[in-house]
């Protein structure tokens, strides 16, 4: 069993850290929130109280970060990390951050003597709690193999996507595709209804025809056909529009640098920005349906 320093016990991190505790690891939870640290202790973990820099990390084998954005990860990696973290301790960043930032942080860590991988996740809070996340991992093959046993405790699919930063590449490309397919699915259901075809009938046909997609069959944005989908609870997330927009903006940033044309990805970002401007970015990303219907 290993000693793990887990930084970021929010919506996702709390469930992930709890699964590591359940697997028998000694997990020191670190968060700005006293309440979240207390909740982690109540589930059998330990707490990093006081400044992270002063924490005695001499026994730590792996540091896992699950933080809101790249600037938070950079601050931890470059400034706030426990000072006596031993060389050779593995750094696993599960946050969704920019590709170039992940590459810079990963390579910088390796140069300082810390094996490091970027390992962003697909799957929301429920998957984090159930230990069924998908991990997309970037980094050297030997660092991926070091990370794998920890990731397998928190997820059901663990993929090595290639060199440092490639986990983030997989993540932004996947989510850009998801956004585009969700908006297309909303348009199709809305048009079908306006033309007199009810959602269930259109679903029965299209889900077995060439229009089928995950957005339709697992997350149908029209209420009715998929009972567990957020559309049946007035688009409460799920996966919030704000989160999707964050990922689409990351995709736009990297696309520009790579001179890759992403006309539909950019358009999807604009559509979700309309939801943000209407102060509705707390709705699930399938809530584009409300935007199309004029009921946002
Ligand atoms: P969150 O805001 O709920 O959690 C982040 C936590 O980090 C907060 O509890 C915050 O207090 C803590 N934190 C911030 N700065 C810190 C610091 N310096 N030291 C210690 N703790 C600090 O966010 P989340 O929903 O858990 O998402 C985390 C990451 O996972 C994001 O990068 C997000 O894009 C990604 N993600 C989220 C989902 C989702 O459905 N929520 C799905 C896939 C990926």
Model confidence pLDDT, tens digit, residues 115-167: 999 999 998 888 999 999 999 999 999 999 999 999 999 999 999 999 999 99
Tens of pLDDT, residue by residue over 168-210, are 999 999 999 999 999 999 999 999 999 999 999 999 999 999 9
Nearest by Cα to 67 from 115, 38, 30 = 30
| Whole-Å CA distances, 251 to 95, 97, 99, 183, 240 | 15, 10, 9, 17, 17
22 flagged as catalytic: no
The percent of residues above 90 in pLDDT, for the chain, comes to: 97
Give me the helices (H) in the chain, please. 13-22, 34-42, 70-75, 99-111, 125-130, 141-154, 166-194, 199-206, 214-217, 241-258, 263-277, 288-293
Residue 222 scores a pLDDT above 90 = yes
Ligand 1 pocket: which of 67, 118, 127, 155 to mutate (most atoms within 8 A of CB): 67
Residue 83 buriedness (CB in 10 A; 0-12 / 13-18 / 19+): exposed
Decide: 161 and 170 in contact? Cβ < 8 Å.
yes
> What are the beta bridge partners of residue 162?
138
Please report the atom of ligand 1 found closest to the CA of residue 76. Answer: 18
> What are the beta bridge partners of residue 121?
135
Distance CA 1, CA 7 (A): 19
The token pair that represents 70 in the structure block:
């790249």
Please give the average per-residue pLDDT across 31-45, as a whole number: 98
Residue 62 scores a pLDDT above 90 = yes
| Catalytic residue selected from 171, 259, 290, 293 | 171
Please give the average per-residue pLDDT across 219-234, as a whole number: 97
Distance CA 279, CA 282 (A): 8
Please give the average per-residue pLDDT across 288-296, as a whole number: 97
Residue 212 scores a pLDDT above 90 = yes
CA of 65 to the centre of ligand 1 (A): 9
Residues with CB under 6 A from ligand 1: 7-13, 30-33, 36, 66-68, 72, 76, 95-96, 121, 124-125, 239, 243, 246
CA of 86 to the centre of ligand 1 (A): 25
Task: List domains and CATH numbers for the chain.
Answer: 3-162 (3.40.50.720), 169-293 (1.10.1040.10)
Tens of pLDDT, residue by residue over 256-285, are 999 999 999 999 999 999 999 999 999 999
Position 238 confidence tier, pLDDT thresholds 50, 70, 90: confident
């Amino acid at each position: 069993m290993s000693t793990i320093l887990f930084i970021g016990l929010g919506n996702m991190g709390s469930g992930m850290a709890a699964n590591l505790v359940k697997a028998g690891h000694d997990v020191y939870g670190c968060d700005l929130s006293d309440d979240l640290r207390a909740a982690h202790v109540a589930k059998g973990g330990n707490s990093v109280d006081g400044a992270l820099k002063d924490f005695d990390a001499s026994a730590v084998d792996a540091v896992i970060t699950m933080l809101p954005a790249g600037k938070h990860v950079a601050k931890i990696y470059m400034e706030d990390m426990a000072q006596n973290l031993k060389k050779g301790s593995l750094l696993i960043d599960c946050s969704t951050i920019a590709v170039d930032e992940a590459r810079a942080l990963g390579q910088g860590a390796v140069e300082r003597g810390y094996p490091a991988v970027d390992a962003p996740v697909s799957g929301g809070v429920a998957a984090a709690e159930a230990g069924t996340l998908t991990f997309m991992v970037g980094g050297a093959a030997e660092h991926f193999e070091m990370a794998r046993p920890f990731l397998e405790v928190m997820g059901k699919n663990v993929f090595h996507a290639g060199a440092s930063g490639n986990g983030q590449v997989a993540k932004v490309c996947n989510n850009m595709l998801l956004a585009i397919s969700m908006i297309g699915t909303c348009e199709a259901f809305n048009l079908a209804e306006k033309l007199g075809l009810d959602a269930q009938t259109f679903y029965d046909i299209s889900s077995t025809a060439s229009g089928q997609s995950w957005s339709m069959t697992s997350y149908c944005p029209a209420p009715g056909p998929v009972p567990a989908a957020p559309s049946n609870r007035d688009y409460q997330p799920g996966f919030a529009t704000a989160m999707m927009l964050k990922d689409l903006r990351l995709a736009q940033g990297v696309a520009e640098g790579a001179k890759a044309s992403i006309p539909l990805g950019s358009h999807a970002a604009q559509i979700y920005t309309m939801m943000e401007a209407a102060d509705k970015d707390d709705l699930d990303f399938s809530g584009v349906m409300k935007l199309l219907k004029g009921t946002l």
